[in-house]
Amino acid sequence: MRPSVHFQWIKDKSYKDVWDIQTLLHRQLISEKLEKRNSHPPIQALENSPLHQLIFCEHAPVFTLGKSGSMEHLLLSDKELESGHIEFFKINRGGDITYHGPGQITGYPILDLEDFYTDVHRYVRNLEEVIIRLLKEYGLQGIRIPEYTGVWLGPDTRSDSFRKICAIGVHLSRWVSMHGFAFNVNTELSYFDKIVPCGIVDENKKVTSLAAELGTMLSMEDVGLSLKRIFSDVFECSFTDEMPTYL
């Protein structure tokens, strides 16, 4: 049986509001799992399967710093953040600092990986695989760089540099995931000049977007629907139209 995932595209909510929603869903999924496990007799895994979630967001400008990141990689003062209308949060995902904003699809899978596979590295590689397959549909060859998480392009005929198009940072508790990926579609790339993206100090490694690579703006809805379809293929899950009422 393919795991069933509830999909929601959240718009017009602050980063903190979406983080709170993630946290609530994450805790609920853990609680449901423990309740089933501790029941007598235990409820079988395929009965009353957990409420897996996939959330897509397009945030207002915000920098987030992962638990292994350095404050030195934020290149703006508090006053400059305020004057630029940019939020900043220290959060509980892995990784360093990154940017979320308009024109970027930020994806938050909240999955009980015990219904998929209990392998963190495979989970991250599969998130990368979703983006790599999407890029292929647009005629671009996404690649992995072994020492860096995420999806990259190049070097190629467009540039001599490696260009990061998708950042990935996750958090797991009792095999339930939260946070996820940030895929640059029509993202304003100048915001990345205000940080050291992902803490990578290397002139040969830059940040890019789908629009920058293709030379044209794209429909966020069309890209999102393609991402959702490919996610279903890679994670071998199905999506339900039923949505939680509080999203």
- For residue 79, the surrounding DSSP H or E stretch is helix 78-83
CA-closest candidate to residue 110, choices 241, 231, 245: 231
CA-closest candidate to residue 177, choices 234, 120, 244: 120
Q: Which two tokens stand for residue 106?
A: 């930020």
First to last CA, the chain: 27
Which neighbouring-strand residues pair with 99?
63
> Exposed/middle/buried for 78, CB within 10 Å: 0-12, 13-18, 19+?
exposed
Annotated catalytic residue, options 57, 166, 198, 237:
198
Residue with tokens 């501790």: 38
Q: Is 166 a catalytic residue?
A: no
Cis ω for the linkage preceding 146 (within 30 of 0):
no
Alpha-carbon span 160 to 155, nearest angstrom = 5
Kindly list the catalytic residues. Answer: 198
